[in-house]
Amino acid sequence: AKSKYNKLHLHLCDHQGFSYFSDVYPDLPLSPGTTYTKDDLREIVSYAGMFGIDVIPEIDLPGHSTAIISSYPELSCRKLQIPVETKQGIFDDVLCIGDENTLQFVYELLDEIIPLFPYENFHIGGDEVKYRRWENCPKCTAKKQELGFDNFSQLQWHFTKQVIDHLNKHGKKAIVWNESLAGGKLTDEATVQMWLDPKKHSVRHANRGGKVITSDFYHYYCDYPYHMTPLRKTYNFNPLLKGVAPVMQKNVLGVEAPLWTEYVCDFDKLCYMFFPRIAAVAEVGWSKKENLDCAEFEKRFRKITPILENIGIHPAKPEEWNPTPLQRLSGTVKFFSDKISVDLLKSSLSNSKK
């Protein structure tokens, strides 16, 4: 609220756990971090509401679902029981979307969660879905053939569209990650959240009249170190997205700076990663381009730091905000070398030059 945000996006399910106690699916494995009861979520919604902040839940479908499958293996293509993941990554086992029981599960779960959030938006994920299991699944391949699709992106889109329609029937508007658009077009039924979109689906969506939220991975992801994403790089990124026609720029609804918590385990680390970058993203979101000036922002942020410190938020120190090119290289390598795959490291280094 102090940074003038008006939405809080809560990502409630993933490969590593499920952060919500479900009555209809009580075996969903609880996340090792925070797990919310219905009352917890109501309390968050009510507290955030006092500061003018809407809470948007996300149930990520049909990928990022190892946790669901570990308890309900019948919802996967192989029907095999697998353990909940404990590392960050993109994993092969996803929900079987050739099986009608999967949609039944999704509808029941969403119907339980929808009444907890009084706002219009509901996020249904759609990112980083691997097709390997679908390619080898009799039900998924038969469904693809029956529907006359050429590829599995179209089948993912078909599944997503049904979930979007279900939400629309409940008076909700879906938000999906940009990969959902690889197999089909949407316009007004859903908002697209752009994060990593080399094929520019989000730009085409905005140019068709659809709504977009900008969360560019290389500029706005606050779970990555300042070495990879310096403050100045974040501040100077134009969220209106290259390629969106001037008359369609109104379709870029706003900005979001995500922070995933696989490697952020406490509040102090969260604040360090977020501040000042999250304040920079908000300033860009609320300002006209001609009024933006990163050096000015840095000066003002130093002045307000004591206010944040007073409420227990300890931002990164000014000398950490904009590392030199050499510091950036060594810090990025160090971060990835203990954590993530070589492929992602290569792609990050090539993009950190931009």
Residue (112 or 128) nearer to ligand ACM, CB: 128
Shortest Cβ 139–Zn ion spacing (Å): 5
Tell me: cis bond preceding 323? Omega within 30 of 0 counts. no
First to last CA, the chain: 31
Nearer to Zn ion, 122 or 159 (CB): 159
Among 59, 95, 106, 140, binds Zn ion (CB under 5 A): 140
Number of residues that bind ligand ACM (CB under 6 A): 4
Q: In this structure, are residues 128 and 97 in contact, taking their beta carbons and an 8 Å threshold?
A: no
Dihedral angle at the C-alpha atoms of 284, 286, 290, 291, nearest 10 degrees?
A: -90
Is 262 a binding residue for ligand ACM by CB under 6 A? The answer is no
How many residues are listed for the chain in this entry? Answer: 354
Residue 177 near ligand ACM by CB under 6 A:
yes
- 81 φ/ψ angles, rounded to the nearest 5 degrees: -75, 130
Among residues 92, 128, 189, 262, the one that binds ligand ACM under rule CB under 6 A: 128
Interface of this chain with ligand ACM, residues 184 to 203, rule: CB under 6 A: 195
Q: Which is nearer to Zn ion, 67 or 279 (CB)?
A: 67
- Choose from Zn ion, ligand ACM, none: what does 57 bind? Cβ within 5-8 Å by kind: none
User: 11: which strand partners?
Assistant: 58
Among 54, 112, 127, 320, binds ligand ACM (CB under 6 A): 127
Binders in 76-115 for Zn ion, by CB under 5 A:
77, 96, 98
218 makes contact with ligand ACM (CB under 6 A): no
Nearest-angstrom CA–CA distance, 240 and 171? 28
Q: Are strands 17-18 and 13-14 parallel, antiparallel or unpaired?
A: antiparallel
List the structure tokens of 191: 């908002």
Label the pairing between strands 190-194 and 212-214: parallel
Q: Residue 36 or residue 177: which is nearer to ligand ACM going by CB?
A: 177
* Omega before residue 115 within 30° of 0, cis: no
- Enumerate binding residues for Zn ion (CB under 5 A): 77, 96, 98, 137, 139-140
The binding site for ligand ACM (CB under 6 A) comprises 127-128, 177, 195
